[in-house]
């Protein structure tokens, strides 16, 4: 069953709005940042990673973003061009703002930490004037990352984009993407998340992220309560992630499905969520069943936690299918298989 229809005449599959950053992952495994001396640079930031992931899967992506007017800004736009992502609406900052730097710490396969430098940050300088209505109307869907709502003028840019998406029949996807570093208080989080979530066709987040969104709504903190509430607004598909316990998807017709992660030897504890989102949305764009979308998302997430990078290690369609086939041959047909609840 196709839960969401898209205007197939539009040239862009998805425009993403939000954070582009630089990830610096250690090559000194299982040491603290204080002990690490060697790092590898990657393009990072959840919406940037998702854009790369979907592009590798054959989808055409664009972006609304602000980046630094320096060599790092040059690095990310060059990388996007090589990945086939349209950069025509990624703008350089004009007042010295910097791309975020994310230093990661891989302490064990199960324990990772992240240190972010976010002062005078480029992505939160995106302004309403940067949102071009004509460009947005060329897309099948718009993805808004929740981090973009943390401060002005980025939050107003996101709200404008969401309103224009509704106006032009552009499907709205909300990746909650909570990062504590930019928010002032929990009331702001709930308010601005809710303003986007109630307009969204697809919402993706962890259980903890939904709880932040719903604290003012009086919901009981259960997955089914979350799904029922947001589907009563506009949403057709709600995805709720539970880390190592897997994830569930709920649809507006009352159906629900769950999937457990594919077994892998993890290298790190981060990056899986962006692989999950890109492959799940690939399935949505291609009209696959929700169970198939969940399987693809789970497979990509497992591949990413077993790799060193995130954007650089996003799978192609062929590598994703090969991974699923290999896992099922090794662990049985039930490995990573989604089941109806």
pLDDT digits (tens, 9 = 90+) for 277-288: 999 999 999 999
- CA–CA distance, 292 with 212 (Å, rounded to integer): 28
- Taking 70 as the threshold, does the pLDDT of residue 257 lie above it? yes
Tell me the per-residue pLDDT of 304-327, one tens digit each, with 9 for 90 and over.
Answer: 999 999 999 999 999 999 999 999
Confirm if 83 and 20 have CB atoms less than 8 A apart: no
**pLDDT at residue number 70:** 97
Q: What is the pLDDT of residue 244?
A: 84
Average pLDDT over residues 93-98: 96
The per-residue pLDDT for 213 is 82
User: What's the average model confidence in pLDDT over 218-228?
Assistant: 91
For residue 221, the model assigns a pLDDT of 85
Helix or strand or coil: residue 178?
Answer: coil
pLDDT of residue 1: 62
pLDDT score at 337: 83
Residue partners of 168: CB distance under 8 A and separation at least 6: 133, 136, 137
Amino acid 60: pLDDT? 98
Is the predicted pLDDT of residue 271 greater than 90, yes or no? no
Distance CA(161)–CA(151), nearest Å, equals: 15
Return mean pLDDT, the chain. Answer: 94
Average pLDDT over residues 27-48: 94
Q: Which range among 144-153, 250-259, 327-336 shows the weakest confidence by mean pLDDT?
A: 327-336
Question: E strands along the chain, which residues?
Answer: 12-17, 21-26, 39-44, 61-67, 90-92, 100-108, 111-117, 139-145, 171-175, 202-206, 237-241, 247-251, 256-259, 339-340
pLDDT at 2 over 80: no
Angle, helix 46-56 to helix 71-82, in steps of 10 degrees: 30
State the pTM of this model: 0.96
Nearest-angstrom CA–CA distance, 38 and 55: 29
Q: What is the mean pLDDT of residues 212-239?
A: 91
**130: pLDDT confidence band, cut at 50, 70 and 90?**
very high
CATH T-level fold of 12-332: 3.40.1190
């Amino acid at each position: 069953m196709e839960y969401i229809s898209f205007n197939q005449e539009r040239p862009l599959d998805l425009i993403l709005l939000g954070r582009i950053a630089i990830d610096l992952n250690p090559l000194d495994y299982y040491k603290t940042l204080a002990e690490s001396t060697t790092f590898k640079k990657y393009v990072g930031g959840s919406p940037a990673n998702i854009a790369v992931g979907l592009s590798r899967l054959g989808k055409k992506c664009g972006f609304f973003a602000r980046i630094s007017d320096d060599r790092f800004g040059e690095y990310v736009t060059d990388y996007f061009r090589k990945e086939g992502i349209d950069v025509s609406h990624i703008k350089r900052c004009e007042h010295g703002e910097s791309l975020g730097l994310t230093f990661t710490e891989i302490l064990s396969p199960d324990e990772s930490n992240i240190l972010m430098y976010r002062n005078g940050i480029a992505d939160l300088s995106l302004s309403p004037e940067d949102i071009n209505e004509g460009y947005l109307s060329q897309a099948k869907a718009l993805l808004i990352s929740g981090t973009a709502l943390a401060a002005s003028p980025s939050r107003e840019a996101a709200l404008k984009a969401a309103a224009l998406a509704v106006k032009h029949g552009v499907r709205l996807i909300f990746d909650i993407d909570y990062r504590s570093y930019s928010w002032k208080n929990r009331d702001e989080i709930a308010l601005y998340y809710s303003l986007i979530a109630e307009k969204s066709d697809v919402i993706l987040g962890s259980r903890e992220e939904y709880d932040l969104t719903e604290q003012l709504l009086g919901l009981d903190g259960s997955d089914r309560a979350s799904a029922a509430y947001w589907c009563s607004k506009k949403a057709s598909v709600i995805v709720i992630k539970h880390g190592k316990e897997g994830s569930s998807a709920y649809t507006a017709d009352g159906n629900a499905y769950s999937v457990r992660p594919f077994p892998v030897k993890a290298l790190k504890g981060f990056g899986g969520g962006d692989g999950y989102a890109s492959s799940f949305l690939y399935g949505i764009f291609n009209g696959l069943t929700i169970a198939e979308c969940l399987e693809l998302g789970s497979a990509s997430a497992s591949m990413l936690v077993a790799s060193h990078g995130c954007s650089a290690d996003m799978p192609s369609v062929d590598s994703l299918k090969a991974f699923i086939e290999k896992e099922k041959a090794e662990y049985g047909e039930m490995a990573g298989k989604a089941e109806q609840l």
